[in-house]
Amino acid sequence: MKIGELFVKEGLITQEQLSEALDYQKRFGGRLGWILTTLGYVNRLDFFRTLAKNYNLPFFEDIDEVKRHIDTKLIEKFDPKELAEHEVLPAKLEEEVLVFTSNPNSQRLEEFIKKHFPNERVKQVIITDLDLIKLLEFYFKDRFIDTAVHGLFYISPEYSASRVFSKGQVLALAIFIYGSLVWLYYDAVSYFIALMVLVQIFYVVSILFKLVVSLAGAKSEMEQYISDEEVKSLDEKDLPVYTVLVPVYKEPEVIGILINSLKKMDYPQNKLDVILLLEEDDKETLQAAKAHRPPSNWRFIIVPNSLPKTKPKACNYGLLFARGKYLTIYDAEDVPEPDQLKKAVLAFKKGGDEYICFQAALNYFNKDENFLTKMFTL
């Protein structure tokens, strides 16, 4: 029996809703179960429960029951980023390998099994995608936080600001302070005159430097123009999954603006991997976001309480669970153009492999409100 018919048989959807979902699938592609979830016809728990029946696999909906099967010595051997990427959590290794997954019989899961358990008998057990994230966070929270905070330093320390001052800079600063104190002691007037001259020279040099950099940047700036005709010519079936990270903190008043904008995006909703990143102590924004009833395929990920409490760290944390081929970041008050993601896909195709990032033009929807908003718009 096909999974769509199984949803009807279980009384979760009507035949009309199934027909609508199948038409949606013909137009946009994607998996039927997620389409039904995206359209709001099936909730997340019923989807995974029916998915388990479709594959004739056990389904655990009690996260504590899952924990009782986990062998911590076994899972500590794995890279948690790899487990998150392949949506899998290995369990007891006795006569057979027990793996908990939210994506059964997928290519990623098969690759993981072939790599780590090529000769063992494997039994799959289905859990929801959110339960999988909770379990990974339970067992690997410290490692996830460490990766989010220090990941760049581990990979490319020369680009990281973890080390604020080098030894040479500290030595130079100490010599400057010592010299200043000695000079002040013997001739305070000449010291302050010299200091003011140095400050003015530094100020002029910094302005000239910014001017040169701005002119050089403007000369080499590349603008990728995407026409409306190109957007209309896109085959929506071929559009990839697009991850949208939304880091928010103490913004309950404006989170609804972005949620409503993302609902109106001209992009297949079943291919939008929207991750709302909220801090552990921000209950107000979480409740406000839930009140706007985002689609069931969106995910709420709670960033554990740790320092620094910044949006870049939150994005690094959310990146560990991203599913999309492409990724973008929106702030809570952003109102993106409906076709922006389609234009981004086209820009990447036209730009080639050497381009890894495009910056969308920034505008202000309240540009005529006052003088300040007009200046920002400029």
- CATH number of the domain residue 310 falls in: 3.90.550.10
Look at residue 221 in the predicted model and tell me its pLDDT: 66
**Given 109, 130, 151, which residue is the final one in a domain?**
130
Last residue of a domain, one of 85, 105, 130: 130
198 and 94 in a common domain: no
Residues 239 and 336 in one domain: yes
Please check whether residues 175 and 123 belong to one and the same domain.
no
Domain boundary among 181, 201, 220: 220
Q: Is residue 139 included in any domain, yes or no?
A: no
Q: In whole angstroms, what is the distance from residue 264 CA to residue 245 CA?
A: 17
Q: Residue 220: its pLDDT value, please?
A: 66
Q: Residue 182 has what pLDDT?
A: 94
Cis link prior to 308 (omega < 30° from 0)? yes
Note down the domain range covering 42.
Answer: 3-130
258/235 same-domain check: yes
The alpha helices in the chain, defined as continuous H runs, are 3-9, 15-28, 32-38, 44-55, 63-69, 72-75, 80-86, 107-116, 129-155, 167-186, 188-220, 228-232, 255-263, 283-291, 311-319, 340-351, 371-377
Task: Walk along the chain (378 residues) and give the pLDDT tens digit of each residue.
Answer: 789 999 999 999 999 999 999 999 999 999 999 999 999 999 999 999 999 999 999 999 999 999 999 989 999 999 999 999 999 999 987 788 999 999 998 999 999 999 999 999 999 999 999 999 999 999 999 999 999 999 999 999 888 888 888 889 999 999 999 999 999 999 999 999 999 999 999 999 999 999 998 888 777 666 778 899 999 999 999 999 999 999 999 999 989 988 999 999 999 999 999 999 999 999 999 999 999 999 888 999 999 999 889 999 999 999 999 999 999 999 988 889 999 999 999 999 998 888 899 988 777 777 778 887 777 776
Count up the domains in the chain and report the number.
Answer: 3
Residue 149 lies in a domain: no
